[in-house]
């Protein structure tokens, strides 16, 4: 579909490991919960749900040759209570492999039965690189439906640089919950994917739920991170805001028969093999072209996603008892909207931070400073200057990121506060 709805609220996806219990989604409950505790967020939801527009990758300025595949850096947090929950590096990498296949349309089952929708099968053209694995033992036997796994003080693990990395938390969520993810617009430290330990990765040698052993739970959840809605629109014959997906009565489970028809207007063939349905892993294997368009809109317009896709990836890995790192060396240049006319100094400071622009004057710039956990710490506007100073003396010791936005140009730099 080319119609885009900018969603800022949270959608949480529940998968059941027991096929007889089909209550797998709590999207509306999650939205109400977030809106109830955050009036600003509630207002944002009400306003942004009215924002619709057409979008495709071809709308990006510049020749097609510049529209290269993007690569997203990934941090995986492995939270374990028992030794068997401390999954191996190989299992983590198997999930990254699945994401690369599914979001690059190179998965082996891509050309399976498509219910006549072959002409609209899409390719996200997105790749993922594993930057870091964090391992933490927790006292929680399971986390269930909450965000505690995202906070160290609550027995989880704080997000790592969420303005530049896609964070994924892997933990026990209880017997009936497989995973959840928020749409763009949630606070940075909550953005990312949560997946059950036994649904993360692919391989017969791992302790995975039989129906969810191909890594498609994470594929589905990452789809939510890019603004994709469940294919049935979370209501009977509802809209997922994508034109080339058919109306669905409700979610599909298991593996429906070929020729399965919807009872909605026009009785179309249902696209149960779409990643945004609820079928078993072996029966979901593509996104539609309209979903690609929708995801592209969020990637190019949401500040956090834009910042993430312009971050870095690397290949050299080192490991210790608690953390596995991949060096952050190679710049991902696709979809780059950064410019190189900003210098900040000193990069280690106890008080003043100087911003210097190479342009003669700066018409207007928005300045945001984020903590390493993604929390907004300072905000400022400047205009008509080429040099400006920020007093960061009130910030505690640590690593921070300064984001300077000028129209469509966005630049991010790192600095350290050390008193």
Determine the Cα–Cα distance for residues 377 and 381; give it in Å rounded to an integer: 14
Determine the Cα–Cα distance for residues 194 and 169; give it in Å rounded to an integer: 5
Determine the Cα–Cα distance for residues 186 and 8; give it in Å rounded to an integer: 7
CB 212 within 8 A of CB 24: no
Determine the Cα–Cα distance for residues 172 and 175; give it in Å rounded to an integer: 8
Q: DSSP labels for 31-100?
A: HHHHHHH-HHHHHHHHHHTT-EEE--GGGSSS-GGG-PPEEEEEEEEEEESSGGGS--HHHHHHHHHHHH
Beta strand segments in 247-333, E: 312-313, 317-319, 323-326, 330-331
Q: Name the burial class of residue 38, with classes exposed (0-12), middle (13-18) and buried (19+) by CB atoms within 10 angstroms of its CB.
A: middle
Determine the Cα–Cα distance for residues 208 and 212; give it in Å rounded to an integer: 7
CB 375 within 8 A of CB 159: no
The closest of 336, 343, 346, 335 to 362, measured between CA atoms, is: 343
Question: Residue 185: how many CB atoms within 10 A of its CB?
Answer: 20
- Tell me which H or E stretch contains 297: helix 289-301
The closest of 364, 365, 345 to 355, measured between CA atoms, is: 345
CB 68 within 8 A of CB 334: yes
Determine the Cα–Cα distance for residues 219 and 110; give it in Å rounded to an integer: 14
CB 195 within 8 A of CB 239: no
Residue 179 β-bridge partners: 195
394 in helix, strand or coil? coil
Q: Is 257 among the residues known to form the active site?
A: no
CB 313 within 8 A of CB 268: no
DSSP code for 185: T
Q: Which of 211, 221, 241, 270 is catalytic?
A: 221
Active-site residue set:
221
């Amino acid at each position: 579909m080319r119609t885009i709805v900018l969603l800022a609220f949270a959608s949480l996806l529940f998968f059941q490991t027991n096929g007889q219990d089909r209550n797998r989604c709590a999207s509306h409950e999650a939205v109400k919960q977030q809106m109830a505790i955050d009036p600003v967020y509630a207002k944002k939801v009400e306003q942004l749900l009215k924002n619709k527009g057409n979008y495709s990758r071809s709308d990006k300025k510049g020749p097609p040759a510049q529209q290269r595949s993007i690569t997203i850096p990934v941090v995986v947090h492995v939270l374990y209570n028992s030794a068997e929950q401390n999954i191996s590096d190989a299992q983590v990498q198997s999930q990254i492999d699945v994401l690369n296949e599914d979001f690059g349309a190179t998965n082996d089952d891509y050309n399976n039965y498509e219910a006549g929708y072959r002409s609209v099968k899409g390719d996200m053209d997105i790749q993922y690189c594993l930057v870091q694995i964090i391992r933490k033992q927790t006292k929680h036997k399971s986390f269930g439906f909450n965000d505690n796994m995202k906070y160290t003080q609550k027995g989880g693990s704080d997000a790592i640089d969420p303005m530049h990395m896609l964070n994924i938390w892997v933990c026990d969520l209880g017997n009936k919950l497989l995973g959840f993810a928020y749409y763009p617009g949630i606070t940075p430290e909550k953005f990312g994917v949560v997946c059950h330990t036994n649904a993360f990765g692919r391989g017969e040698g791992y302790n995975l739920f039989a129906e969810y052993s191909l890594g498609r739970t994470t594929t589905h959840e990452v789809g939510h991170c890019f603004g994709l809605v469940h294919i049935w629109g979370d209501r009977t014959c509802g809209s997922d805001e994508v034109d080339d997906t058919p109306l669905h009565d409700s979610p599909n489970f298991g593996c429906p028969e070929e020729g399965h028809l919807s009872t909605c207007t026009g009785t179309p063939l249902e696209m149960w093999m779409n990643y945004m349905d609820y079928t078993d892993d072996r029966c979901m294997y593509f996104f539609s072209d309209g979903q690609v368009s929708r995801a592209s809109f969020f990637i190019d317009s949401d500040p956090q996603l834009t910042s993430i896709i312009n971050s870095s990836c690397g290949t050299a890995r080192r490991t210790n008892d608690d953390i596995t790192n991949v060096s952050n060396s190679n710049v991902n240049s696709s979809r780059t909207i950064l410019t190189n006319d900003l210098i900040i100094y000193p990069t280690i400071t106890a008080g003043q931070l100087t911003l210097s622009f190479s342009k003669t004057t700066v018409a207007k710039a928005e300045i945001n400073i984020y903590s390493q956990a993604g929390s907004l710490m300072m905000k400022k506007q400047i205009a008509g200057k080429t040099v400006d100073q920020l007093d960061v003396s009130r910030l505690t010791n640590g690593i921070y990121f300064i984001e300077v936005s000028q129209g469509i140009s966005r630049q991010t730099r790192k600095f350290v506060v050390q008193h």
